[in-house]
Structure 1
Amino acid sequence: MNVNKNQIKLPLMLNFLIFSMLLNSMGVIILQLSTTISYKGLGVLESFKDIPMAIVSLLCVNWIAKTGNKKALIFALIFIMISSIALPLVEVFWFFKIWLSIVGVGFAIAKITVFSIIKNNFKDKQLASAVSSVDASFMIGIFFVNIGFGSLLTSNYAQYWKYGFWIIALLSIINVLMLRNSKIEKEQISENKKESGGWKFFLKPKLIYFFIIVFFMVFVEQSFNSWLPSFFKNNLKVNSYFALQASAFLALFSFIGRLVTSRLILRFHWFKFVLICLLFVFSILIACQVLIYYFYTDLKFLLIFIMPLIGLFLSPLFPLYNSEILNKVPKEKTHLLVSIVVVCSSLGSSVGSLYMAGIFHKNVSNFYPLFILFPLLIIFGLTFFLNKTPITYDRNQ
């Protein structure tokens, strides 16, 4: 039985690693295009990924229910594989917008199907552990994309940096083969068109708190993953390679944080775990802001080592919130739940990117840690309401 569970997790982990590399290549793209395009323009670029992601996540629920999780996931992989192969061959800026839209659509399908597969095969704390493991692979994808592109940008082949996406396309082919040979899907393919109904269920207070938390969690994560390299380059005056390396170590610590969480959550209650992580994040952000404000001249390079440590404590939060709610929601509502999560994530990502673009455009990025602290305080307050509010449901809803 354990072998089967591991066989289920492995292709899902590779899938999230692939989409992580695609989604989080934005940090590289921003660095490479910032010499010719304003930060204000680059801030809008992320919307081309997030808006299609939000729209498709709602429209594809019935299609996924009829097609089945595995077939839909394979379709998403083939979709992004073809676009990633084409990206280096098209030498115009507008294709980045099309490519990001394709990535957004693919990830919307992938997230709904992956979380549905986990819901169908895991329960309770094992579900929380599986979510943390899959999300851990998402963070290691960020590490790989920053290390890989950082090395490429400092080599003699820097002008060919877009060809790095061919490696991601190759991984997509491997993932398709793994999924085709797997036996991860056992749920019955739905023929009931009413399955996507029951919107009233998602208006329950606990779920509303959760959706707001998802919005701000992605808001915060996007502020780090896409904009930390620019912060290091602009404020600490390091080159692109070291800026990406610092961001890569943020991802590495995030991977470690989620991997450790997948083990510790089997022993500890999620609420206490979340509070401890948030307090550590607050402490690190405040320490970084103090360094910037009072000791910038002498100790600014300490930020390169301190800021990535946030990943250890920030990364466990999202899977912990997700698993808490996923455990409470009936299987037949999983597709719709995750689609709403994708919408909230997309909105959080777009708004977060515009928020950070405005900060850099107005030249107030020396308050970067402080600006990130504000949405985290909202998350902190809502966590208490999320924990205290019960969720009840009627099967007929």
Structure 2
Amino acid sequence: MTKHTHINGPRLLLLLVSTYLIFAVLLNSVGSVILQSILSFDVSKPQASVLEGFKDIPIAVVSFLFAAYLPRWGYRRALVLAMVLVATACVAMPLLSSFWMTKVLFLTVGVSFALVKVSVYSLLSYVNTGADKHAANMNVLEGCFMLGVLAGYWLFGAFIDQHTPASLSWLNVYWVLALACGLNLIFILTSMPDIRTQQTSDNAEGGFVDMLKLATLPFVVTFVLCAFLYVLIEQGLGTWLPTFNNEVLGLPANISVQITSVFAACLAIGRLSAGAVLRWISWFPLLLVCLTVMAVLLLVVMPLLEPSQQVGSVKGWQDVPMAAFVLPAIGLFMAPIYPAINSVVLSALKQQQQAAMTGLIVIFSALGGTLGSIITGMIFEYADGHTAFLFMLLPMGLLGVLLVAFRRGVLREQSPSAAAVS
């Protein structure tokens, strides 16, 4: 049973998008903050790589413990709490200005995003009905998320002092982000209905047990492994791209951050266009083609990025090598994978199971992001940036194999309606 007032679908979607945009900037600022922490706080790459864990581990833990209870507690309350926590952390960043505070910030962002993502994914089913519309809205939502990521790179880059990159002036960006959180909080309080699903079971552990039961379904197991590997690849590349640009290509710190927006732009374009493409092409062959192109691009572009030729040679945008723009183009083909598999698995489940399923999505995505960042950082430190990025060919191959198993599992689970998901 669901408790809510009349739901304005477009307004609800706009609210979900605005909330997602703020977290897009904060979550994906980890690459920029890693670079600036290395420069401003004099920490090593392995030390800086733990920031991904401070962000992702709380996402996993909070999702695991509370995702199944959010429908009963109230999605509106969850979003309000998330905004208050993140606004407070943003205000504290420029006031305390230390590496330990960056850890606290990302821990807070992680806890809050767990509440937000479960709420947003669950609320998406209230915007429209039908698997096709759900998939389209999912891609719009994730596409807007990537637009937020893109804007975030330029926002952070604008606050980095090009002449003194070790300066703490970049911390002033958090005043802007705190203001954005405050405005979005007002939007939630004035526009969002109170949507709560009343549990039919009196067992307080029912929702938690439902999540564990979902994790025993074969097609869900293959799905979470796919999500894990995808995020490992995306975060491994995206998080370390600013540092790669700075140390391997020799780009100035502010340009290193801003040019990473090409990666986010490609992800945004890919996801926004995937909604239309998936109306004409089945998700499975599309994703296999995307994975193949990603691997080919990585193999072709990496030899063009020779550190001995680039370090120290770039003084401005006019000196940036073309290959530096081509590498982030991998994001264009990476983009459809995550929202497509999320939509397939959520559409295969009943609405009351979607909060628990979203909890599993968030958990394994978080674990994948943490592992991807740490592995890439370690290889970057003890080998080089080229080797770190080429390592991503391994999870790409594994993801291709698992997509085949995932498709078979979904078709087996929904054999009467297999055509709808194939």
Q: Which sits farther off after the overlay, 248-257 or 91-100?
A: 91-100
Q: Report the 3-state secondary structure (helix = DSSP H, G, I; strand = E; otherwise coil) of the residue aligned with 2:178.
A: helix
Q: Does residue 413 of structure 2 align to residue 392 of structure 1?
A: yes
Q: CA deviation at 1:373?
A: 1.4
Give 1:180's aligned residue. 189
Q: CA deviation at 1:247?
A: 0.6
TM-score, length-scaled by structure 1: 0.92
Give 1:65's aligned residue. 71
Q: CA deviation at 1:223?
A: 1.2
Aligned pairs (5 A) from 1:261-340: 261-292=274-305, 297=309, 301-340=321-360
> d(CA) in 2 for partners of 1:310 and 1:234?
20
Structure 1 residues 211 and 243: alpha-carbon distance in aligned structure 2, compared to 1, 3 A threshold: same
Q: CA deviation at 1:104?
A: 0.4
> d(CA) in 2 for partners of 1:41 and 1:387?
39
Structure 1 residues 266 and 97: alpha-carbon distance in aligned structure 2, compared to 1, 3 A threshold: same
Q: Which sits farther off after the overlay, 58-67 or 8-17?
A: 58-67
> d(CA) in 2 for partners of 1:96 and 1:115?
27
Q: Does residue 14 of structure 2 align to residue 10 of structure 1?
A: yes
Give 1:375's aligned residue. 395
> d(CA) in 1 for partners of 2:198 and 2:8?
21
Q: CA deviation at 1:186?
A: 4.8
Q: CA deviation at 1:301?
A: 2.2
Q: 1:21 aligns with which of 20, 25, 29?
A: 25
Q: Does residue 361 of structure 2 align to residue 355 of structure 1?
A: no
Please tell me whether the aligned partners of residues 19 and 184 of structure 2 are also in contact (alpha carbons under 8 angstroms): yes
Give 1:125's aligned residue. 132
Q: Report the 3-state secondary structure (helix = DSSP H, G, I; strand = E; otherwise coil) of the residue aligned with 1:197.
A: helix
Cα deviation digits, residues 244-277 of structure 1 (max 9, x gap) = 1221111111111111112222332211221222
Please tell me whether the aligned partners of residues 119 and 326 of structure 1 are also in contact (alpha carbons under 8 angstroms): no
Letter of the 2:180 partner, please give it.
L
Please tell me whether the aligned partners of residues 66 and 191 of structure 1 are also in contact (alpha carbons under 8 angstroms): no
Cα deviation digits, residues 105-164 of structure 1 (max 9, x gap) = 000010100000013433201111111111112111111111111122146895321121
Cα deviation digits, residues 347-382 of structure 1 (max 9, x gap) = 111111110111111132222431111111111111
Q: Report the 3-state secondary structure (helix = DSSP H, G, I; strand = E; otherwise coil) of the residue aligned with 2:191.
A: coil
Please tell me whether the aligned partners of residues 26 and 109 of structure 2 are also in contact (alpha carbons under 8 angstroms): yes
Q: 2:61 aligns with which of 43, 55, 59?
A: 55
TM-score, length-scaled by structure 2: 0.87
Give 1:139's aligned residue. 146
> d(CA) in 2 for partners of 1:300 and 1:279?
27
Structure 1 residues 289 and 296: alpha-carbon distance in aligned structure 2, compared to 1, 3 A threshold: farther
Q: CA deviation at 1:227?
A: 0.3
Give 1:195's aligned residue. 207
Letter of the 1:18 partner, please give it.
I
What percent identity do the matched residue pairs reach?
A: 27
Aligned pairs (5 A) from 1:64-213: 64-122=70-128, 123-154=130-161, 159-183=168-192, 186=195, 188-190=197-199, 192=201, 193=204, 194-198=206-210, 199-213=212-226
Give 1:241's aligned residue. 254
Please tell me whether the aligned partners of residues 59 and 366 of structure 2 are also in contact (alpha carbons under 8 angstroms): yes
Letter of the 1:197 partner, please give it.
V
> d(CA) in 1 for partners of 2:290 and 2:111?
31
Q: Which consecutive residues of structure 2, in runs of 5 or more, have no partner in the other structure?
A: 1-6, 311-318, 415-422
Q: CA deviation at 1:233?
A: 1.1
> d(CA) in 1 for partners of 2:349 and 2:359?
13
Please tell me whether the aligned partners of residues 376 and 389 of structure 2 are also in contact (alpha carbons under 8 angstroms): no
> d(CA) in 1 for partners of 2:113 and 2:195?
22
Q: CA deviation at 1:313?
A: 1.0
Cα deviation digits, residues 84-123 of structure 1 (max 9, x gap) = 1111111332122111111100000101000000134332
Q: CA deviation at 1:80?
A: 0.7
RMSD: 2.3
Letter of the 2:146 partner, please give it.
M
> d(CA) in 2 for partners of 1:92 and 1:356?
24
Q: Which sits farther off after the overlay, 155-164 or 34-43?
A: 155-164
Q: CA deviation at 1:183?
A: 4.8
Please tell me whether the aligned partners of residues 217 and 379 of structure 1 are also in contact (alpha carbons under 8 angstroms): yes
Q: Which sits farther off after the overlay, 103-112 or 162-171?
A: 162-171
> d(CA) in 2 for partners of 1:4 and 1:62?
25
Q: CA deviation at 1:184?
A: 5.5
> d(CA) in 2 for partners of 1:256 and 1:95?
34
> d(CA) in 2 for partners of 1:265 and 1:24?
26
Please tell me whether the aligned partners of residues 147 and 248 of structure 1 are also in contact (alpha carbons under 8 angstroms): yes
Structure 1 residues 92 and 330: alpha-carbon distance in aligned structure 2, compared to 1, 3 A threshold: same
